[in-house]
Amino acid sequence: MTPASPPATGRAPASWSSPWSSPRRRFGLPHRQQQRGRRRAHDHAGADLAFLPGLSAAEKESMLRADDDPDGVVVLHSAAGLVLCCRARVRTARYYVCNPVTRQHVALPKLEEEAPARKHECRCGLLTLTADTKSSFRVVIVHWPEDLDQTMCLDLSVFSSDTGQWEVRKLALPPDLCYEDIFGSPPILGQSGTSYWIWHTWADYAIAYNSSSANNPILEIALPPRLPGWEDNRCIGERRHGWGLQFAQSNSSSVLEVWKSDLIGGRWSLSLRVTIADLVALNPEVAGSFMCDRYGNTRINPVGFHPTDEDVVFIAMPGAVFAYSMERGTLTLLRRTKDCLIPADVYPYTHPDYPVQVPAIKDDAAVMIMELPRQQCGCSTETPCVTGILSVW
């Protein structure tokens, strides 16, 4: 059942899932929780993850040799109230799935270290849960090998709690894909389990990947025309249980557009065009909830769509984050902030209003790497590869 749209003012009802219903549910990406005495210029404040297990002396030494911070915890992804995080960003990283509210956590089996010639760096991670029972989860770690410019193949490490095993995959990239801009940001996870990346360059398309099968290729999805004065303010979401898509964008003139498509790859239609002046006129009670940015502008940034209510889009303005009901034209204040967030800052919007248990890992003590039957591609390694790029226009 689709929850009701949020009311115009006040707190959202308990049946409507808000990612900021608890102060511990705000996660910046990447996020590092530092120990006392250690301060870095690019650290972000956020959830307290100090309950995660510490590292052994050998593991800390290994991370220091890799020029990584053994005291830092990086939040890679989140889904259904659970968080995927790790210590270190190289192949020797330790990964955990945890509930930062209940502090329940499980440690994933350690990945095997790669030879120096195949040194990897973790670019991003995905966390998905079974849609029906939430009884199992899957983790995908996207590694950036040193020879990526030659092979155009990403290294994927896929873990399933059903098997308790890591599986090694290779994912072929299109030759013209600007991968440096894509995988530097966390993906947007749809309810179908498909992850979407939108990068903020000249490209007018997004890419999508579903980890449910090793044979799934990357999809290229054409996006609607950019707004004049376009900036890095775009997000994408699913509708109709994953059969269709929604897309939102804004520009420096504080214009917000929402486009919808009934089918993935289908024609986009403009569903909403609104300015901040329109929003304030319809919701005068929230006018004091946001402020101008450092340049004196009050900008609208779309940061995500409600996971189950297609009518609601989350928007950020300097000083506050709101849930906007497109049908009613109403704003619900979710959280006050000190700046204006963008989609890469706060993710995702799938936190339920009830405690989520971390699914148990089958054969937790077993640590092994599964390999699929090899496929032919242009990669230089013996690892199975996902080939074929399907363009959706």
pLDDT tens per residue across span 182-196: 666 667 777 777 888
What are the per-10-residue average pLDDT scores of the chain (393 residues)?
A: 30 31 33 35 46 80 70 77 76 80 87 54 74 76 76 84 88 69 69 76 76 76 83 80 87 86 87 87 72 59 82 83 89 73 47 64 51 40 35 27
Q: What does the pLDDT read at residue 116?
A: 43
Based on the fold, state whether residues 337 and 368 are members of the same structural domain.
Answer: no
Among the listed residues 66, 131, 124, 126, the one whose alpha carbon sits nearest the alpha carbon of residue 97 = 126
Based on the fold, state whether residues 320 and 365 are members of the same structural domain.
Answer: no
Expressed as residue numbers, the domain containing 288 is 248-259+267-344
Based on the fold, state whether residues 68 and 122 are members of the same structural domain.
Answer: yes
DSSP three-state, residue 281: helix
Phi/psi at 90 (nearest 5 deg)? -105, 180
Based on the fold, state whether residues 297 and 159 are members of the same structural domain.
Answer: no
User: Is 208 a member of any domain?
Assistant: no
Based on the fold, state whether residues 157 and 103 are members of the same structural domain.
Answer: yes
Predicted structure pTM score:
0.66
Q: What does the pLDDT read at residue 122?
A: 63
User: Is 191 a member of any domain?
Assistant: no
Based on the fold, state whether residues 92 and 103 are members of the same structural domain.
Answer: yes
- Residue matched to tokens 């399933």: 160
Instruction: Give pLDDT tens digits for 276-307.
Output: 888 888 888 776 665 555 555 567 788 888 87
Based on the fold, state whether residues 59 and 127 are members of the same structural domain.
Answer: yes
Q: In what order do the strands lie in the sheet with 301-305?
A: 301-305, 312-317, 320-325, 330-336
Q: What does the pLDDT read at residue 92?
A: 61
Annotate 76-110 with DSSP letters as a single string. EEEETTEEEEEE-SBTT-EEEEEETTTTEEEEPPP
Longest dimension (CA), the chain: 62
Based on the fold, state whether residues 310 and 379 are members of the same structural domain.
Answer: no
As given in the structure block, the two tokens for residue 133 are 């029972």
Q: How many domains are contained in the chain? A: 2
